[in-house]
Amino acid sequence: MELSLAISPCPNDTFIFDALVHHRIDTGGLHFNVQFFDIEQLNTLAIGQKFDVLKVSTGVLPLINNNYHVLDSGAALGNGCGPVLVSKVPYPAEREIVEGLKIAIPGEHTTAHHILSLAFPGIENKAFLVFSEIENAVLQGRVDAGLLIHENRFTYQGKGLHKICDLGEFWETTYQTPVPLGCIVAQRRLSEELKQKIEMLIRESVLYAFNNPDASEEFVRIHAQEMQPEVMKQHISLYVNEFSVSLGEQGRAAISVLARTTIA
């Protein structure tokens, strides 16, 4: 049986799914046809019900809940891993100042946008860009500030940018849960037995990657574009953890908290 799978090309996703996609584990006759998209593209695809299984931002779940079921494995969720708001000119993290800036954001439906809107609800001047374009937009002065996710969290200081606010810290302090960045969802029309099997296979794929870290190296490198090896390792270390194996009660609670928050 073949299933369509859409994930991001980021190291955490390729690390998690390598064993599953390349049959390093026994998939029980399931084959996953994988395609790669930016996280906001993934959110849009989920809204349009385009794939059987997808990686999505937790922030988009209220819009897709009727059609997709959150799986227990494969999530990007944790502590100290939230989006970071940065600028070329150092600005204080004062609400009236930040809310007056033009800010680049990695997609309307991303969790990063959701948390930014909780912290600074009065922001009106927003530029929605692909996450990998935001750092340069700030450096070139096309925006006053940018909301960084993924590998840019590790590179902005070396390029002379300044942190205004760590929105992961804001989330953890305010809501007392890990930051629920993203998760894996499956179409509700799939049978319960099949969804459970997919969930189990993703869990096995994560564990295989942990136990055989060199196995996924080429798959991760090919899709990480020009990312430096040390940044790839930092990326995986930050975003792939025990919550990627299983959300557990704490992970599910974090997702529920985010789903209950409202934004301007």
Residue 263 has pLDDT above 80, yes or no: no
pLDDT of residue 262: 66
pLDDT of residue 175: 95
User: What average pLDDT does range 131-151 have in this prediction?
Assistant: 92
Please give the distance of CA 212 from its chain centroid, rounded to a whole number. 23
Residue 123 has pLDDT above 60, yes or no: yes
Q: Per residue in 25-75, pLDDT tens?
A: 999 999 999 999 999 999 999 999 989 999 999 999 999 999 999 999 999
Residue 226 has pLDDT above 80, yes or no: no
pLDDT of residue 128: 96
What's the angle, vertex CA 134, arms to CA 128 and CA 137, rounded to 5?
100
- Find, among 108, 66, 101, the residue nearest to 86 by Cα: 101
Q: Per residue in 165-219, pLDDT tens?
A: 999 999 999 999 999 999 999 999 999 999 999 999 999 999 999 999 899 999 9
Q: Could you tell me if 40 and 106 are in contact, meaning their C-beta atoms sit under 8 angstroms apart?
A: yes
pLDDT of residue 35: 97
Pair of tokens at residue 36: 């790669």
pLDDT of residue 264: 52
For 45, residues 6+ apart whose C-beta sits below 8 A from its C-beta are 6, 37, 51, 54
Angle of the 192-211 helix axis to the 11-21 helix axis, nearest 10: 110
pLDDT of residue 150: 81
Q: State how beta strands 179-187 and 68-70 pair.
A: antiparallel
Average pLDDT, the chain: 93
Residue 83 has pLDDT above 80, yes or no: yes
Active-site residue 150, yes or no?
A: yes
- Lowest average pLDDT, out of 16-20, 144-148, 223-227, goes to 223-227
B/e letters for 172-199, b = 16+ CB within 10 Å, e = fewer, are: beebebbbbbbbbbbbeebeeebbebbb
Residue 151 has pLDDT above 80, yes or no: no
Which entry of 150, 162, 223, 235 is annotated as an active-site residue?
150
Q: Per residue in 106-121, pLDDT tens?
A: 999 999 999 999 999 9
Query: What is the set of domains in the chain, with CATH numbers?
Result: 2-77+180-260 (3.40.190.10), 84-175 (3.40.190.10)
